């Protein structure tokens, strides 16, 4: 009989990490969830913050609040920079300390993905991507600023690049953004400017793929493309962006002058594979076993977008449902181990289907053999998305906002605000490392007995190969 209370560390408070924490909450264990942001973001609606429909607080919630009733879970704001598998520790840069070791008995990594510019990091300064709330507000600023600048510019020959919006990548994020900008222009901005006609804005969606929404069946992607064209979006397929600079984009040798280029194309996994020194796929996602653990380390699990998990010979896609189901599965598996019960059978993903929205009142839905497009698909999309928001207050608020926007065209927030959402973990001064949490109640750790690992540079040595199955 031991009085050792296991310590379970979860890195990431996204879909996978939160699902694991909730599944583990009743385990006789200490659980620590670490995230570099104090909030969870409902990423599927980020494009609505970027296009002013919703405010950041309607799709983001403090992780601490989401887990307030889970009394065994401690939430730490900090950025994990490495894993010491031998000592069973993660290293964390917290608000004011660097390389703080946190010991674990079980580790769940759910650190998601970040943008990838396919080896062209120089595009990043001209074409922001959409991954977190700060990105969404930066893009919102950029879009609204372009209209303001055009209104202030008396020479109409200079309006062209200001009123041209280019989205690079015609996956769900690119399609949803393009549709939402078109609706913004037609339904909201149309009557509010005096010198310019916002409806003259060009919205151009570019992708090297032969069709939009390549992961959907042909018939649905054709319908989505037709809908985009009806909204006035120019869809250019078959050629990617050769160059992006301060003056716009070059596509198939043609320069498109634009002051607002948005990157909706590529993502790459977090550096979890490098932290673990574990086998990864070509994109850099950690290859996991059938129970989501890492080969040779049954106490370490990787879930969600940063994991590479094959099912029936195919990799699972980088979507929220995979992360949620894996997180829940791993939570239950660890719980059973902690209470000495036999392990569950290997993880199996249950695919509930895919959906994407195109402008106002139109979506496409595919679930099993069933395919739907149009208004009823849009209602289904709205229902599902509201249901998955993290807090009841968000569900009510988003529901009311959507009704208001649907009938009036008025949007949740069209404020241009600077310097939003800078992570305290990245900006605060650094002091001496001390442990934040010990592994178990019977053990304590001090910084003296630990030589910190070299922090990983997230932006260095990146493979920049797209995780092809990941959503944007
Ligand atoms: C714009 C956009 C739209 C999307 N739309 C859809 C959709 O409609 N439907 C759908 O199914 N999927 C959609 N996805 C994909 C879906 O959001 C992801 O598949 C899902 O979020 C993956 O969950 P996760 O837990 O693996 O990672 P995430 O939800 O991304 O969570 C990762 C967490 O880890 C934290 N983190 C990362 N690195 C560190 C570190 N070093 N230290 C501490 N914390 C760290 C992050 O702050 C974050 O909170 C979309 C994604 C994007 C970007």
Q: How many alpha carbons lie under 13 Å from residue 208 in its C-beta half-sphere? A: 8
pLDDT tens for 289-304 read: 999 999 999 999 999 9
pLDDT tens for 194-209 read: 999 999 999 999 999 9
Euclidean distance between CA atoms 363 and 383, whole angstroms: 12
**How far apart are the CA of 138 and the centre of ligand 1, in A?**
18
**How far apart are the CA of 47 and the centre of ligand 1, in A?**
14
**How far apart are the CA of 80 and the centre of ligand 1, in A?**
16
Dihedral angle sign, alpha carbons of residues 453, 454, 459, 465: negative
- For ligand 1, atom 7, name the residue with the nearest CA: 44
pLDDT tens for 165-183 read: 999 999 999 999 999 999 9
Quote the tokens at residue 383.
């229902």
Helix (H, G, I), strand (E, B) or coil at 371: strand
**How far apart are the CA of 135 and the centre of ligand 1, in A?**
13
Q: How confident is the model at residue 164 (pLDDT cuts 50, 70, 90)?
A: very high
Q: What is the mean pLDDT of residues 352-362?
A: 96
**How far apart are the CA of 15 and the centre of ligand 1, in A?**
7
Instruction: Determine contact, residues 235/225, Cβ cutoff 8 Å.
Output: yes
Closest CA to 11 of 382, 257, 276: 276
Ligand 1 atom nearest the C-alpha of 47 is 1
Ligand 1: does its nearest atom lie under 6 Å from the Cβ of 323?
yes
Q: How confident is the model at residue 472 (pLDDT cuts 50, 70, 90)?
A: low
> Does pLDDT of 423 surpass 90?
no
> Does pLDDT of 457 surpass 90?
no
> Does pLDDT of 459 surpass 50?
no
Ligand 1 atom nearest the C-alpha of 267 is 53
Can you give the three-state secondary structure of 138-165, one letter per residue? HHHHHHHHHHHHHHHCCCHHHCCCCCEE
Domains and CATH numbers, the chain: 7-116+268-351+422-449 (3.50.50.60), 121-265 (3.50.50.100)
Ligand 1: does its nearest atom lie under 6 Å from the Cβ of 174?
no
From the candidates 176, 234, 289, 434, give the one annotated as an active-site residue: 176
> Does pLDDT of 336 surpass 50?
yes
pLDDT at 89: 98
Q: How confident is the model at residue 3 (pLDDT cuts 50, 70, 90)?
A: confident
Q: What is the mean pLDDT of residues 239-265?
A: 96
**How far apart are the CA of 305 and the centre of ligand 1, in A?**
7
Ligand 1: does its nearest atom lie under 6 Å from the Cβ of 467?
no
Ligand 1: does its nearest atom lie under 6 Å from the Cβ of 472?
yes
Distant-in-sequence, close-in-space partners of 203: CB < 8 Å, separation ≥ 6:
165, 167, 178, 181, 182, 185, 231, 232, 233, 234
> Does pLDDT of 317 surpass 70?
yes
β pairing state of 106-109 and 7-11: parallel
Ligand 1 atom nearest the C-alpha of 321 is 11
Euclidean distance between CA atoms 436 and 438, whole angstroms: 7
Q: How confident is the model at residue 32 (pLDDT cuts 50, 70, 90)?
A: very high
Ligand 1: does its nearest atom lie under 6 Å from the Cβ of 319?
yes
Ligand 1: does its nearest atom lie under 6 Å from the Cβ of 173?
yes
Is 176 labeled as catalytic in the residue annotation? yes
Q: How many alpha carbons lie under 13 Å from residue 301 in its C-beta half-sphere? A: 29
Ligand 1: does its nearest atom lie under 6 Å from the Cβ of 27?
no
- For ligand 1, atom 27, name the residue with the nearest CA: 112
Instruction: Determine contact, residues 230/247, Cβ cutoff 8 Å.
Output: no
Average pLDDT, the chain: 89
| Continuous segment of H or E residues that includes residue 244 | strand 241-245
Q: What is the mean pLDDT of residues 417-422?
A: 59
- Prediction pTM value: 0.89
> Does pLDDT of 224 surpass 60?
yes
How far from the centroid of its chain's Cα atoms is residue 386's Cα? 17
Helix (H, G, I), strand (E, B) or coil at 404: helix
Helix (H, G, I), strand (E, B) or coil at 77: strand
Q: Can you give the C-alpha Rg of the chain in angstroms?
A: 23
- For ligand 1, atom 31, name the residue with the nearest CA: 14
Share of the chain above pLDDT 90, in %: 83
Q: How confident is the model at residue 217 (pLDDT cuts 50, 70, 90)?
A: very high
pLDDT at 422: 42
Q: What is the mean pLDDT of residues 141-156?
A: 94
Euclidean distance between CA atoms 403 and 361, whole angstroms: 11
Share of the chain above pLDDT 70, in %: 88
Q: How confident is the model at residue 2 (pLDDT cuts 50, 70, 90)?
A: low
pLDDT tens for 79-128 read: 999 999 999 999 999 989 999 999 999 999 999 999 889 889 999 999 99
Helix (H, G, I), strand (E, B) or coil at 398: helix
**How far apart are the CA of 12 and the centre of ligand 1, in A?**
9
The more confidently predicted of residues 257 and 455 is 257
Ligand 1: does its nearest atom lie under 6 Å from the Cβ of 280?
no
pLDDT at 102: 97
């Amino acid at each position: 009989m031991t009085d050792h209370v296991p310590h379970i560390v979860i890195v990431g408070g996204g879909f996978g990490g939160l699902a694991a924490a909730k599944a583990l909450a009743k385990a006789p264990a200490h659980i620590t969830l670490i995230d570099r942001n104090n909030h969870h973001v409902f990423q599927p609606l980020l494009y609505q913050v970027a296009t002013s429909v919703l405010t950041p607080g309607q799709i983001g919630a403090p992780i601490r609040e989401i887990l307030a009733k889970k009394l065994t879970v401690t939430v730490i704001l900090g950025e994990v920079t490495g894993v010491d598998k031998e000592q069973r520790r993660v290293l964390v840069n917290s608000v004011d300390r660097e390389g703080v070791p946190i010991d674990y008995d079980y580790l769940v990594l759910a650190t998601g993905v970040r943008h990838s510019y396919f080896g062209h990091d120089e595009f990043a300064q001209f074409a922001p991507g959409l991954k977190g709330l700060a990105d969404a507000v930066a893009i919102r600023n950029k879009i609204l600023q372009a209209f303001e600048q055009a209104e202030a510019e008396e020479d109409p020959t200079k309006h062209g690049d200001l009123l041209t919006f280019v989205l690079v990548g015609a996956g769900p994020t690119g399609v949803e953004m393009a549709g939402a900008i078109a609706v913004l222009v037609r339904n909201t901005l149309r009557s509010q400017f005096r010198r310019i006609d916002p409806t003259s804005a060009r919205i151009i969606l570019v992708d090297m793929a032969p069709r939009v929404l390549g992961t959907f069946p042909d018939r649905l992607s054709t319908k989505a493309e037709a809908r985009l064209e009806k909204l006035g979006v120019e869809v250019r397929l078959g050629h990617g962006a050769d160059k992006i600079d301060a003056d716009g984009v070059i596509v198939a040798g043609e320069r498109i002058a634009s002051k607002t280029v948005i990157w909706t194309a590529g993502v790459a996994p977090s550096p979890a594979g490098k932290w673990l020194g574990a086998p990864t796929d070509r994109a850099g996602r950690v290859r996991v076993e059938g129970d989501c653990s890492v080969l040779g380390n049954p106490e370490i699990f990787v879930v969600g977008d940063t994991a590479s998990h094959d099912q029936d010979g195919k990799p699972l896609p980088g979507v929220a449902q995979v992360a949620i189901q894996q997180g829940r599965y791993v939570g239950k598996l660890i719980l059973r181990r902690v209470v000495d019960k036999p392990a569950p059978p290997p993880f199996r993903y249950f695919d509930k289907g895919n959906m994407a929205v195109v402008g106002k009142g139109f979506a496409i839905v595919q679930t099993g053999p069933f395919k739907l497009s149009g208004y009823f698909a849009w209602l289904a999309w709205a229902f599902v998305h509201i249901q998955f928001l993290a807090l009841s207050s968000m569900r009510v608020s988003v529901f009311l906002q959507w009704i208001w926007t649907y009938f009036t065209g008025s949007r949740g927030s069209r404020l241009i605000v600077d310097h939003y959402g800078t992570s305290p973990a990245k900006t605060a001064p650094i002091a001496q490392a001390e442990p934040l949490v010990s592994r178990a109640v019977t053990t304590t750790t001090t910084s003296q007995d630990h030589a910190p690992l070299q922090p990983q540079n997230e932006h260095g040595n990146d493979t920049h190969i797209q995780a092809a199955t990941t959503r944007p």
